[in-house]
Amino acid sequence: MLPTASEVPWQDLLASLPLGDQETLSLRIERYLADLQAGLAEVYPGLDVSLTRRAVALMVRHFAERPDWLRRLDLRRLLRPDWFLRQDMLGYVCYTERFAQTLSGLEGRLDYLTELGVTYLHLMPLLATRPAPNDGGYAVSDYRMVRPDLGTIEDLRNLATRMHTRGISLCLDLVLNHVAAEHPWAEAARAGDPAKMQYFLMFGDRTLPDAYEQNLLEVFPDFAPGNFTWEPACRRWVWTTFNRWQWDLNWANPEVFFEFADLILFWANQGVDVFRLDAIAFIWKRLGTDCQNQPEVHALVQALRAVARIVCPAVLFKAEAIVAPEQLRNYLGSGRHHGRVSDLAYHNSLMVQIWSALASRDARLLTQAMRRFPSPPHQTGWVTYLRCHDDIGWAISDADAQAVGLSGPAHRHFLSDYYSGVFPGSDAVGDVFQFNPRTGDRRISGSAASLAGLEVALRNQDTSGAQLAIARLLLGHAVILGAGGLPVLYMGDEIALLSDRDYLSDPEHADDNRWLHRPRMDWQRAELRSDLDQVPGMVFQGLRRLIAVRQRTEQFAAETPSVWWDSPAPELAIQERLHPVGTLLAIYNFADRPTWLPGSTFSGGPWPRARDLLGQGLLDLRTGVALAPYQVLWLVNAEPDG
């Protein structure tokens, strides 16, 4: 049984605000107080009244400071709560320093992003970190300071303002599972400050760490085995899920909650629109479990989100939870947390399935996994992506594999072989990341273009191989653009940047091969983006076309329900999007050869004659449909009013 929430007086805390603000804030508090209180009561039973009052005081302070232009944005988005789910949304993710050197330099690159159609920019970690190694910025040493080599808070604020005038929102990482071992909280804890020791999970001997380890996994078995690190200065074992210099926070301590509530509101007031909740699955620990996906994670996010909804309703949460589909839906809210947690969550499964289908030239597993995949709750959506800054782990369930006649372990083994280039005939170039001898897992690093075969084709001066690789890249992107969700492009993929082996000569990165696919933006190559005779131009213009069609096609809005068809041809995936303005049929050929769909496929379908939005003209479905290697068809009714 959950503790019941008690009556909390809070009106007195608003007295310092002007009357109009009091009214706005009261209405929002009335709307979201129950969410806040229930979240807090679930995690900190018995403390909810005092904690709720403390949260209201915090919200009043930040609301008073919220700039006018952001208050207007709050109003605008309250009027259009699906703003981030519309078909004209397109994300892009990059490292500031690798894309534009600095935050002010980035302002000069906004035209490029606008040309591509970008409306949402995720800048990889940019807060002050410990000196390298720092996990690509995910070891934050000061949450209120921008990395000095990138600029200042003022630069970030200016950039955010500039971006907003172009309709581009800003997403920042919020690393809330851990801080750098050099963060002042950790320094104080190490020095024995009892209050700050409570910010972390510290143990005098191995009894509890050993008990927890029974059920814990290792995220970096290769370079950071185990989940605890001995800290000689304070003679304690410290919980360190990731690297030994990333100290896990103790969210059972309400002080940690308040630190992050304060940080969220602080950054929201600088113009941040979306917080990427990094490694959110890990923040609550429970003995006897793998300490991921615990219900308290959702209660905490619910409370944080209520705080954000009250002060800055324009702001969204995006969960980075790379977990099984059954667990993933909870990050968008289920059960008592329904409609109360994150707005977006990464669709890791789709990314994995696209690479799997490309390797096997077979879409049946993808179709099976997508059919079983939960739909997002009302007004939430998946973030779809083909590549990101992390490795690819072969998250394919044994049950899905079995359903299409495959063995899960054997297929995962095949994918690792295929993408590390050792499978006979594979033209993929990737490296194994974190081989785990215990489980046999081999995750993969490498850029989309290199994994799709472009590196090998260019090396061999194989023009038709390059054409096929480009077609694979465009097909993969078409799937993430067409699937429903907020699609996010990974920097450089739009001009087919190859993997970058320079990281090996950089001592700060050499031991982490994820830097293989974190190249510097090649602006010279980007100059070729309009040249249809050159690889960058073919990819960029191909993507532009897909994006432009998507932008004007309502059926691609994330909330459009969809079904994946049974395809008579195993290499084809067929997704039907069912919108009131008309059905859209997306057909994807995952094979490197032409294929054919007989007319009977469409006998129960929506219409006999179709128009392809991607330029193939009119098609009579009754006579069947031919597809070229890796071809994509986005079909609508040829006679919309018929």
Q: CB of residue 401 vs ligand GLC: minimum separation in angstroms? A: 25
Q: CB of residue 279 vs ligand GLC: minimum separation in angstroms? A: 4
CB atoms under 10 Å from CB of 172, counted, come to 23
Yes or no: say if 328 and 397 are a contact pair by the CB < 8 Å rule: no
And the tokens for 170? Answer: 């800003």
CB atoms under 10 Å from CB of 238, counted, come to 24
Question: Has 554 been annotated as catalytic?
Answer: no
Applying CB under 6 A, the span of 63-71, 131-139, 353-361, 529-537 interacting with ligand GLC comes to: 131-139
Q: CB of residue 138 vs ligand GLC: minimum separation in angstroms? A: 3
Applying CB under 6 A, the span of 132-140, 258-266, 576-584, 605-613 interacting with ligand GLC comes to: 132-140
Distance (Å, whole) CA 56 – CA 44: 16
Three-state DSSP class for residue 277: strand
Applying CB under 6 A, the span of 62-70, 135-143, 149-157, 414-422 interacting with ligand GLC comes to: 135-143
Distance (Å, whole) CA 460 – CA 439: 36
Is residue 390 close enough to count as binding ligand GLC by CB under 6 A? yes
Applying CB under 6 A, the span of 134-142, 263-271, 566-574, 582-590 interacting with ligand GLC comes to: 134-142
Q: CB of residue 319 vs ligand GLC: minimum separation in angstroms? A: 11
Mask: binding to ligand GLC, 312-331, rule CB under 6 A, as x and -? Answer: --------x-----------
Distance (Å, whole) CA 251 – CA 104: 35
Number of H helices, E strands in the chain: 22, 25
Query: Which of residues 199 and 282 has its CB atom nearest to ligand GLC in the complex?
Result: 282
- Supply the DSSP symbol for 131: S
| Amino acid at residue number 512 | D
Mask: binding to ligand GLC, 274-313, rule CB under 6 A, as x and -? Answer: ----xx----------------------------------
Is residue 427 close enough to count as binding ligand GLC by CB under 6 A? no
> Which one of 320, 493, 494, 500 is the catalytic residue?
320
The phi and psi torsions of 232 (rounded to 5 degrees) equal: -60, -35
Question: Has 320 been annotated as catalytic?
Answer: yes
> Which one of 97, 182, 278, 612 is the catalytic residue?
278
Q: Could you tell me the CA-to-CA distances from 504 to 443, 492, 617 in Å, in that order?
A: 19, 19, 48
Query: Which of residues 141 and 562 has its CB atom nearest to ligand GLC in the complex?
Result: 141
List CB contacts of 639: < 8 A, sequence separation 6 or more. 607, 609
> Binding to ligand GLC (CB under 6 A): which residues in 225-284?
242, 278-279
* DSSP-derived pairing of the beta strands 617-620 and 609-612: antiparallel
Q: CB of residue 552 vs ligand GLC: minimum separation in angstroms? A: 33
Mask: binding to ligand GLC, 536-575, rule CB under 6 A, as x and -? Answer: ----------------------------------------
Is residue 391 close enough to count as binding ligand GLC by CB under 6 A? no
Mask: binding to ligand GLC, 164-203, rule CB under 6 A, as x and -? Answer: -----------x----------------------------
Residue in the shown chain whose Cβ atom is closest to ligand GLC: 138
List CB contacts of 217: < 8 A, sequence separation 6 or more. 290, 292
Q: CB of residue 223 vs ligand GLC: minimum separation in angstroms? A: 11
Applying CB under 6 A, the span of 104-112, 133-141, 464-472, 481-489 interacting with ligand GLC comes to: 133-141
List CB contacts of 387: < 8 A, sequence separation 6 or more. 351, 447, 448, 451, 490, 493, 517
Q: CB of residue 320 vs ligand GLC: minimum separation in angstroms? A: 6
Distance (Å, whole) CA 238 – CA 236: 6
Yes or no: say if 352 and 395 are a contact pair by the CB < 8 Å rule: yes
Query: Which of residues 352 and 457 has its CB atom nearest to ligand GLC in the complex?
Result: 352
Distance (Å, whole) CA 603 – CA 191: 73
List, in sequence order, the alpha helices (H) in 67-193.
68-79, 96-100, 103-107, 110-116, 153-165, 184-190
Is residue 136 close enough to count as binding ligand GLC by CB under 6 A? yes
Q: CB of residue 31 vs ligand GLC: minimum separation in angstroms? A: 32
Number of residues that bind ligand GLC (CB under 6 A): 10
Distance (Å, whole) CA 518 – CA 523: 15
Bridge partners of residue 609, in order along the sequence: 620
CA triple 55-61-67, angle to 5 deg = 125
Interaction site with ligand GLC (CB under 6 A): 135-136, 138, 175, 242, 278-279, 320, 389-390
Catalytic residues: 278, 320
